[in-house]
């Protein structure tokens, strides 16, 4: 993926509790880091009690620690601990969670993640009705990085870009592409053009 032009790697960590699926933890990240020493690792922590894995992920080489608002009783403390560990902090929400719950935390984080599928499994259908959440964040919080994850590919990238997303997670669409480099180039171009249009409209 990096050779094909990806800007960063989005690594899905699932614990079998917050989501039904189970993937990998910090030992795999630790193995990956020496092989990809300069790559930005965006850890998508689909785990219950995300506070408990912050130190291990930092030690393993994580660059950004993105946790779910729904998974912790104290998002503000979780953000503080991530920053104290020297990582960037991201906060995400599931499709059924209202976007406004994130308002108190926007100024504290580096990125906001809007899920466009129910987290837990790859290859799901894109939920276009999540686009107003992205538009809300872009309208009210200007320059915040907005990541979109779930069913994103060439067929859905325009919707994401027009709504204001600027960090794109694409799994199945890239893995199944005959030409991942071209797919990444196309999606990047769509996002860059949408950003340029929005700047001209201001």
The annotation places the binding site for substrate at 44, 120-123, 151, 171-172
- In the annotation, is 12 catalytic? yes
| Sole residue written with tokens 């893995």 | 175
**Which position among 3, 12, 103, 107 bears the catalytic label?**
12
User: What is the spatial distance between Cα 97 and Cα 198, in angstroms, rounded to a whole number?
Assistant: 27
The annotation places the binding site for a divalent metal cation at 10, 12, 44, 149
How far apart, in Å, are the Cα atoms of 19 and each of 13, 15, 109, 120?
A: 10, 7, 23, 5
**Secondary structure of 122-183 as H, E, C letters:** CCCCCCHHHHHHHHHHHHHHCCCEEEEECCCCCCCHHHHHHHCCCEEECCHHHHCCCCHHHH
- In the annotation, is 103 catalytic? no
The annotation places the binding site at 10, 12, 44, 120-123, 149, 151, 171-172
Catalytic residues: 12, 149
């Amino acid at each position: 993926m990096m050779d094909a032009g990806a800007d960063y790697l989005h690594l899905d960590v699932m614990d079998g509790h917050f989501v039904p699926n189970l993937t990998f933890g910090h030992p795999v990240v630790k193995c990956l880091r020496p092989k990809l020493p300069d790559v930005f690792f965006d850890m998508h922590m689909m785990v219950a009690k995300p506070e408990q894995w912050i130190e291990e992920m930092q030690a393993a080489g994580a660059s950004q620690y993105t946790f779910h608002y729904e998974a912790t009783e104290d998002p503000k403390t979780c953000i503080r601990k991530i920053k104290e560990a020297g990582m960037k902090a991201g906060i995400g929400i599931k499709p059924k969670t209202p976007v406004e719950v994130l308002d108190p935390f926007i100024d504290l984080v580096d990125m906001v993640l809007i899920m466009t599928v129910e987290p837990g499994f790859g290859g799901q259908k894109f939920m276009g009705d999540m686009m107003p959440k992205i538009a809300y964040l872009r309208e009210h919080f200007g320059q915040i990085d907005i990541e979109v994850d779930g069913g994103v590919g060439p067929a859905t990238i325009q919707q994401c870009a027009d709504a204001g997303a600027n960090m794109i997670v694409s799994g199945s669409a890239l893995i199944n592409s005959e030409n991942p480099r071209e797919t990444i180039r196309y999606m990047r171009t769509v996002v860059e053009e949408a950003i340029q249009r929005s700047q001209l409209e201001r």
